[in-house]
Amino acid sequence: MVDVLPSWREGKIRESILDFVVRVTREGGPDYVPPGERIAVFDNDGTLWCEYPLQVQVFFVLDELRRMGTTDPALLEKPAVRALLAGDVQALAGMPKREVFEPAFMVHAGMSVDAFKGAVGRWIEGAKNPRNGRPFTAGTYRPQRELLGYLRGHGFKTFIVTGGGIEFVRVVSERLYGIPPEQVVGSSTKNAFHATADGVDILKLPQLGSFDDREEKPANIELHIGRRPILAFGNSDGDLAMLRYTLAGPGARLGLLLHHDDAAREFAYDRDFRPSPLGEGLDTTDQYGIHLVSMKNDWRAVFDD
């Protein structure tokens, strides 16, 4: 019988998920967790959708800069912005995520948040991953969408905790994952109230508010959610602090790391993927009690087809 999590192959990982959900939902059981406290957090890039050869948002900024350019001398100083303007995907793929994302966030400074979301929504309709020709919106992982639905069906509240821009991800989170905007935590620019005769808006400022990666993920979980999750799912070293924070709480906990080891159906990469490596995570799964999920072996399907 495979009505539940049909895209997950039978095996240790699928069992550990089903066991965990049974334990925390069994009323009167020793590991019971009331529904309100069933907080599950998921990284986005590389965990819920494809991030290879670069995160989706990088392609958005690349197209935006092509369209509008920039004459901002502070931005033009950044190697990532020069690579974005040149459309040099290979150079970008050789930089750590933060080096690309921080200046990329600044590109829309001065725009209202509503206008920014409109631009993202229009762009993402037609945009495709240059490596596999798949529309970015078709780059979500079917097993993960099943897992999100399965958890919500058992009283979990599901959150995204992403290094990507919080407003960018919010444009697609409900439609792609059934996760409403207020359950998305992410990197952010500072923003400001702005009232004129034309309207009252929130403007994006050039200053970074938070780069939601590594140790900043659990800090932002506390700021935005205010409870320690009982389940965390990531795919890179940037998710390790969030996994450790989750697993260190009392009672039943589940921490999972997705290993991209499937060159045939998606991509195979880990330690050497500069934008978001998985190395320390691979070395410490036993130490922290993290389950390593093999895309190749644990997933029956990767995408919808």
* Contact between 280 and a second copy per CB under 8 A: no
Stretch that binds a second copy, among 46-54, 135-143, 146-154, 208-216 (CB under 8 A): 208-216
Dihedral in degrees, nearest 10, Cα atoms 173, 118, 93, 146: 20
* Contact between 74 and a second copy per CB under 8 A: no
Give the nearest distance from C-beta 225 to a second copy in angstroms: 5
* Contact between 172 and a second copy per CB under 8 A: no
Give the nearest distance from C-beta 15 to a second copy in angstroms: 26
Write down the residue that tokens 């921080």 correspond to: 102
Q: Which of 232, 259, 288, 301 is CA-nearest to residue 20? A: 232
CB-based contact 70:81 (threshold 8 Å): yes
Among 55, 191, 235, 236, binds a second copy (CB under 8 A): 191
Among 18, 219, 282, 301, binds a second copy (CB under 8 A): 219
Q: How far apart are CA 156 and CA 145, in angstroms?
A: 14
Stretch that binds a second copy, among 98-106, 119-127, 245-253, 262-270 (CB under 8 A): 245-253
Give the nearest distance from C-beta 194 to a second copy in angstroms: 9
* Contact between 68 and a second copy per CB under 8 A: no
Tally Cβ neighbours within 10 Å of residue 280: 11
* Contact between 34 and a second copy per CB under 8 A: no
* Contact between 113 and a second copy per CB under 8 A: yes
Q: Distance between alpha carbon 80 and the CA centroid of its chain, in Å?
A: 21
* Contact between 182 and a second copy per CB under 8 A: yes
Task: Name, in order, each residue with C-beta under 8 angstroms of 77's C-beta and a sequence gap of 6 or more.
Answer: none
Give the nearest distance from C-beta 95 to a second copy in angstroms: 24
* Contact between 245 and a second copy per CB under 8 A: yes
Stretch that binds a second copy, among 164-172, 256-264, 278-286, 291-299 (CB under 8 A): 164-172
Write down the residue that tokens 């240790």 correspond to: 12
Among 9, 152, 224, 300, binds a second copy (CB under 8 A): 224
Task: Name, in order, each residue with C-beta under 8 angstroms of 40's C-beta and a sequence gap of 6 or more.
Answer: 151, 156, 157, 158, 159, 229, 230, 231, 232, 233
Q: Which of 278, 281, 276 is CA-nearest to residue 187? A: 276
* Contact between 184 and a second copy per CB under 8 A: yes
Using DSSP, state whether 255 is helix, strand or coil: strand
Give the nearest distance from C-beta 291 to a second copy in angstroms: 18
Q: What are phi and psi of 296, to 5 degrees?
A: -65, -45
In the complex, which residues of this chain contact a second copy (CB under 8 A)?
36, 39, 113-114, 157, 166-167, 170, 174, 180-184, 188, 190-193, 195, 199-202, 209, 215-216, 218-219, 222-228, 241, 244-245, 247-248
